[in-house]
Every structure is written in structure tokens, then in C-alpha cells.
Amino acid sequence: MSESGTANAVSTPVEQVLVIPTALFHEIGHFQGFCGETGRYLDVVLDPVHASYRPRNEMEDDPSFKQLIPYCIFQCAGQVFSYKRGNDQGEARLHAKRSVGVGGHVSTLDLNGAGSPYSEGMKREIEEEVFVEAKWTERCVGLINDDETEVGKVHLGVVHIFDLDSAQVTPREKSMIQAGFAPPEQLLRELDEFETWSQICLKALFANES
């Protein structure tokens, strides 16, 4: 306590997240929904010449930038992992929505890892959110953009599919509820319960399989 009897304030560092100018995204080729042309975008959007780290609290309301989000989908033996977001998890605008995506922001926390900041950020976010107790292979299959929602206007998703050899994914976070694997055709029937990005992914990646 200070002599005046009040506690000294401790400032919390502002999270700095990886972003690109929205104008750059439009220059490469704007799309609404899902785009499978990963090679067209990733080399450009992950280039340090274009990408930068900016305060997350400012970026959440600034559509002149897109926050880059690894969006990881786990599948095993024809079934897809999904969960429901509780009120304590992440983005408040997505609370009570179901999701097939695990992931989050790449930040300055990821600059000192062995891999690229993007891959380190994806790894960190997965390890923070779920236990994956299975062997897996990973492939990047596309990008998501949704300018029709407020949260979508300030984010750009990069979609990764993790093919697991066993269905062993369990939540670490208490706010990830009703988690488990189900056939994609079942999830497609329940599409209205999902956040917009998950709806986009389910339709683009699994609708033709059901």
C-alpha cells in the first residue's frame, strides 16, 4: 500500500496481434465466404513487409485492418470435432455459438519460437484450448472472410484441417462445452447453431460429402 492508503496501480501490457491492411487483402483479391486458393494469399499476408503487430483492443473495432486467425478443424474417421462457446471464452460476440474451429490470434508472444510466428501462434492457441492425444497430419485448405458480421469485418481466417488417427481431442478451457466428434452431415443439419465461420467451413468443405 502507498502512504495514502491506496494500492499502486499495475498496468497490464496491451496484447499486440498480427494484422494486415484490409486494403492489401482487397488488392490480392477480395472474396466473401471461403476461398481455397491458399497459395495466392499466404505468401503475401504472412510477409513481414505487409504484416504488423498492433494493439488488439484497437484492432477489434478497426475494419481498415484484418487480424489473422489460424482456424483449426480436427477430423477423424469421417467425423468432425465441434464444441459450444461458453460465456467465458474469447470473443464475446461469439458466446453461446457452436464452432468447429480451434485457434486464435497470433501475437508478439510468438516471435521467439523455433518456427515462424504464425505457426508458433497456431501451436500455442491449440495447446491453450484443447488436449490432442492423437497423432495427426495437418494441411492448410483455404481462407475465410466474412464482411457481413461485425466480428468478421476485422478478422481473416486461415483454415487448417488436422487429420487424427484417433478421436482424442478434449477441451482444456472450461468454457468449451458440449465438445465431441460427430458426422459432418449431422453438423450441417444443425448449421444455424454455429458461428458464421463454422457455417462457411462446413458448407465449403463437407456439404458435398454428405
The CATH number assigned to the domain holding 144 equals 3.90.79.10
**What is the 8-class DSSP label of residue 110?**
G
For residues 144 and 142, give the distance between their C-alpha atoms in angstroms, rounded to a whole number: 7
Does residue 210 register a pLDDT over 70? no
Cβ contacts of 156 within 8 Å, gap of 6 or more: 20, 25, 45, 66, 67, 68, 69, 143, 144, 145
Does residue 1 lie in a domain region? no
Confidence class for position 11, pLDDT limits 50, 70, 90? low
pLDDT reported for residue 3: 45
Q: Is there a domain that residue 9 lies in?
A: no
- Could you tell me where the DSSP H helices lie in 72-144? 117-129
Question: Which pLDDT belongs to residue 198?
Answer: 97
> pLDDT band at 9, cuts 50/70/90?
low
Whether residue 3 lies inside any domain: the answer is: no
Position 85 scores a pLDDT of 86
pLDDT at 93 over 60: no
pLDDT, tens digit, 9 for 90 and up, residues 39-83: 999 999 999 999 999 999 999 999 999 999 999 999 999 999 999
**Residue at 132 is within a domain:** yes
For residue 4, what pLDDT band results from cuts at 50, 70 and 90?
very low
Look over the chain and give the mean of its residue pLDDT values, rounded to a whole number.
91
**Cβ contacts of 129 within 8 Å, gap of 6 or more:** 102, 103, 104, 171, 172, 173, 176
Kindly state the cell numbers that stand for 158: 486461415
Does 11 reside within a domain?
no
Asked whether residue 69 is assigned to any structural domain, the reply reads yes
CA pseudo-torsion sign 83, 111, 160, 149: positive
Which neighbouring-strand residues pair with 21?
65
User: pLDDT tens, 170-207?
Assistant: 999 888 999 999 999 999 999 999 999 999 999 999 99
Cβ-contact 50, 24 below 8 angstroms = yes
Residue 8 domain-assigned?
no
Convert the pLDDT of each residue in 132-166 to its tens digit.
999 999 999 999 999 999 999 999 999 999 999 99
User: Has residue 35 got a pLDDT over 90?
Assistant: yes
Distance between CA atoms of 72 and 69, rounded to whole angstroms? Answer: 9
In this prediction, residue 113 carries a pLDDT of 86
Instruction: Convert the pLDDT of each residue in 101-138 to its tens digit.
Output: 999 999 999 999 889 999 999 999 999 999 999 999 99
73 is in which domain, residue-wise? 16-206
Crossing angle for the helix pair 22-29 and 38-45, to the nearest 10 degrees: 150
Distance CA 140, CA 61 (A): 28
Counted domains in the chain: 1
Element (H, E) at 178: strand 176-182
Question: Would you state the pLDDT for residue 89?
Answer: 47
